[in-house]
């Protein structure tokens, strides 16, 4: 009977009161929430840990997961407690800015998995983690699908007006998905900027050689919208 009751509870059959849960199932779901949060922390490090900002956010995931699971397990059996917490949270303001949009996604993922643990819904938890993992893998290994129509960075050259046409031809020859963003002439010098969709390290080396062949005195700068991986 105990095994049958635990199976119904973990399949979200609907528990009427807190006393029906028991310490062992409650401890089990907290442990599941902790393990899932640790796994999400590993995913954050694997996919976004190399970024310069926000790389320590994952350290809070285990505590967030356990805390949210505990809170919502308690709230679903007490309406007064739910209303009291709602009033308390309405006056709490978090002023710490989120530096990267990826942080929002991972925080929401921790919250979603914690809520499924709080409702003892293991099938939903498995589905959420599976779909999230598939999405991260697609983002990691199929970047071209998301960047074909976007600019990953900018090339800036400072030279004399005589080299303008040669630089444009050299850039378009090495970078097929590049376009001229601006050309500014001032005090006998020309500043040219090119937006590019993709630029490999080998392409950058070849482009530098081509630009140096035109004029070794050309100033070159490369700016990326995100870190190279």
Output the domain CATH number for residue 170: 3.30.70.240
Tens-place pLDDT, residues 129-158: 999 999 888 877 765 555 554 567 788 888
Looking at the DSSP bridge assignments, the partners of residue 221 are 156
If you count DSSP H runs as helices and E runs as strands, how many of each does the chain have, helices first?
9, 4
Residue 16 belongs to a domain: yes
Label residue 166 exposed, middle or buried (CB < 10 Å: 0-12, 13-18, 19+): middle
Same domain, 73 and 124: yes
Tell me how far apart the alpha carbons of residues 12 and 140 are, in angstroms, rounded to a whole number. Answer: 34
- Look at residue 151 in the predicted model and tell me its pLDDT: 62
In angstroms, what CA-CA distances link 97 with 44, 105, 199, 226? 18, 14, 31, 19
Same domain, 134 and 69: yes
Using the 3D structure, point to which of 96, 126, 142 is the last residue of a domain.
142
Residue 229 belongs to a domain: no
The pLDDT tens digits along the chain (229 residues) read: 444 444 444 444 444 455 566 678 888 888 999 999 999 998 888 887 655 555 577 888 999 889 888 888 877 666 666 556 655 555 555 555 656 677 888 888 998 998 898 888 888 999 999 999 998 888 777 655 555 545 677 888 888 888 888 888 888 887 777 788 888 888 888 888 888 776 676 777 788 888 888 888 888 888 776 555 4
- Look at residue 40 in the predicted model and tell me its pLDDT: 92
- Look at residue 87 in the predicted model and tell me its pLDDT: 57
- Look at residue 127 in the predicted model and tell me its pLDDT: 93
Same domain, 126 and 189: no
Residue 216 belongs to a domain: yes
Q: What share of the chain is helix, strand, coil (3-state, %, to 5)?
A: 60, 15, 25
- Look at residue 85 in the predicted model and tell me its pLDDT: 62
Residue 61 belongs to a domain: yes
Same domain, 174 and 131: no
CB atoms within 10 A of CB 44: 26
Same domain, 50 and 136: yes
In angstroms, what CA-CA distances link 35 with 23, 44, 120? 18, 14, 15
Same domain, 128 and 181: no
* Structural domains of the chain, count: 2
- Look at residue 221 in the predicted model and tell me its pLDDT: 83
- Structural domain including 153 reads 148-224
What does the mean pLDDT of the chain come to?
A: 75
Same domain, 130 and 193: no
């Amino acid at each position: 009977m105990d095994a049958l009751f635990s199976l119904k509870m973990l399949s979200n059959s609907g528990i009427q009161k807190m006393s029906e849960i028991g310490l062992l199932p409650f401890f089990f779901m907290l442990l599941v929430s902790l393990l899932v949060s640790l796994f999400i922390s590993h995913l954050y490090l694997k996919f976004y840990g190399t970024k310069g900002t926000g790389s320590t956010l994952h350290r809070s995931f285990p505590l967030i997961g356990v805390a949210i699971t505990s809170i919502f397990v308690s709230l679903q059996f007490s309406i007064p407690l739910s209303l009291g917490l709602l009033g308390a949270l309405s006056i709490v303001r978090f002023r710490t800015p989120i530096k990267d949009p990826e942080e929002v996604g991972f925080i929401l993922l921790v919250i979603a998995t914690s809520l499924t643990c709080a409702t003892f819904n293991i099938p939903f938890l498995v589905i959420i983690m599976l779909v999230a993992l598939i999405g991260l893998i697609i983002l990691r290994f199929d970047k071209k699908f998301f960047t074909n129509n976007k600019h990953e960075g900018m090339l800036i050259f400072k030279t004399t007006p005589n080299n303008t046409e040669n630089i444009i031809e050299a850039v378009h020859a090495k970078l097929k998905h590049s376009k001229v963003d601006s050309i500014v002439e001032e005090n006998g010098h020309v500043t040219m900027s090119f937006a590019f969709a993709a630029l490999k390290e080998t392409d950058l080396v070849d482009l530098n050689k081509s630009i140096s062949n035109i004029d070794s005195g050309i100033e070159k700068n490369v700016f990326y919208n995100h870190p190279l991986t």
